[in-house]
Structures are given as C-alpha cells and as structure tokens.
Amino acid sequence: MLTPVTCLKLLFTLNEQLQRRRQITHNSGLSLPEVLAVIVILGVIALIALPSLLNQKHKAQLASAKATIGAVNRAQEAYRVRHKIFATKLSLLKIYDTSGGGYKIEGYHPLVLTYDQIKRQDTNAVLYGGGNPWYVSVHAQAIDPAGTGVSGCVWAKPGSFGVTTASVKEGSTAAPPGDCWAAVPQGSSEPVKFYSIQTTE
C-alpha cells in the first residue's frame, strides 16, 4: 500500500528522471559552429593522410609490376632453353593473356616486349628465326605520372646458348628505365644489322 512518503519519493524520482531526459535531449545535438569545427578537423586529417594513402597505392602497384616483370624474365629464360632464342611475343611465353591490346598490370600501360631482330648485312637475310638469342627486355610504364616505371632484361654471354642473366630495374619516373645493359650484346661475329622491334602481343 502506498503511503504519502512513498508517493513523495516516487514523484521526486520521476521528476529527476524527466529532468535527466530533458538534459540529454537538450545536449544531444551539435550547434553550427561545432559542426563546422568537426568538418575542418576532418578536412585537415584527410589532407595529412591522403598523400600517405596514395603513396601506399603506388608502392603496391610497383611491387606488382616488379613481380610481373620478374615472372616474364624467368619465362624467357625457360623459353630460351627450349628454343635457343628468346620469345618474340609475350603470348609465346603462355603466362599472361595478351589478347585485347596486351597484358596490363594495375596502374600501368600494357607490357612492351623489346628485342633486336638480327639480319645479315650483305644479304639482309633474317637470322635465328627472326628472334634474338642474346638479349630481350620487357617494360612497364606507369599511367600515373607519380608512379614508377619498371624494366626487365634477360641476356646471355655473346656466343653462349647456356647460362642467362636476368635483371629487374625500377625507374625514377613513370617511364621505364630502359635496357639493363649500356650496350646490347652482339652474339655473332658475322656482319649483321640489328632492328629494334617492340610489341605488346
């Protein structure tokens, strides 16, 4: 049974709860200056964090490009063991699909295979089946000007059909750094001419 004292206590309790609810409701929203301050703080944080995030993206793309170029180098070495020349098309390596304009790494233009076709100087006859047994390279150019280009090369000692050496180089700009050798080795003592050929196939 409710006594007057109990009723008074109950009324005081309900009053306190109502006052708390009013206070919570009153303080739950933000004023316009507070909202603007939050937006400014978030903008400053974004400006600080964005370059770092973009840099991480470029690093990830560069790592992917170097791994891809390294895989092409290894496939070229294996191809040369079987055929005595390097592959003249990326499609011949059978590791990437080059249909539809060539193989693309995220953030890069299609890979470009470069080699020198060798012809006799006197007769203009194409030697080594149109390929090159001594040197081949592959290049990836970054799409973003802030990205990093990558080149991969495989070469053999002139006159040797055995051991090959491979190298992967990253550039200092979006363009690939180019050949890994200062001079392309000439593996024949015959009077020959070299014709540079580039392909994305």
Question: Which pLDDT belongs to residue 182?
Answer: 44
Residue type, 61: Q
* Mean pLDDT value across the chain: 81
With a threshold of 0.75, does the pTM exceed it? no
Residue 83 has pLDDT above 60, yes or no: yes
Is 151:142 a contact under the CB 8 Å cutoff? no
Question: Which pLDDT belongs to residue 44?
Answer: 76
Residue 14 has pLDDT above 60, yes or no: no
Residue 73 has pLDDT above 90, yes or no: yes
Residue 53 has pLDDT above 90, yes or no: no
Question: Which pLDDT belongs to residue 5?
Answer: 55
Question: DSSP alpha helices (H): ranges in the chain?
Answer: 4-27, 32-83
- What are φ and ψ of residue 147, in 5° steps? -80, -175
Question: Which pLDDT belongs to residue 175?
Answer: 92
Q: For the chain, which residues make up each domain, given as ranges? A: 33-199
Residue 4 has pLDDT above 80, yes or no: no
Looking at per-residue pLDDT, the higher value among 196 and 21 belongs to 196
Closest CA to 104 of 129, 72, 68, 74: 68
Chain Cα centroid distance, residue 51: 17
pLDDT, tens digit, 9 for 90 and up, residues 87-143: 999 999 999 998 888 999 999 999 999 998 989 888 889 988 898 888 899 999 999
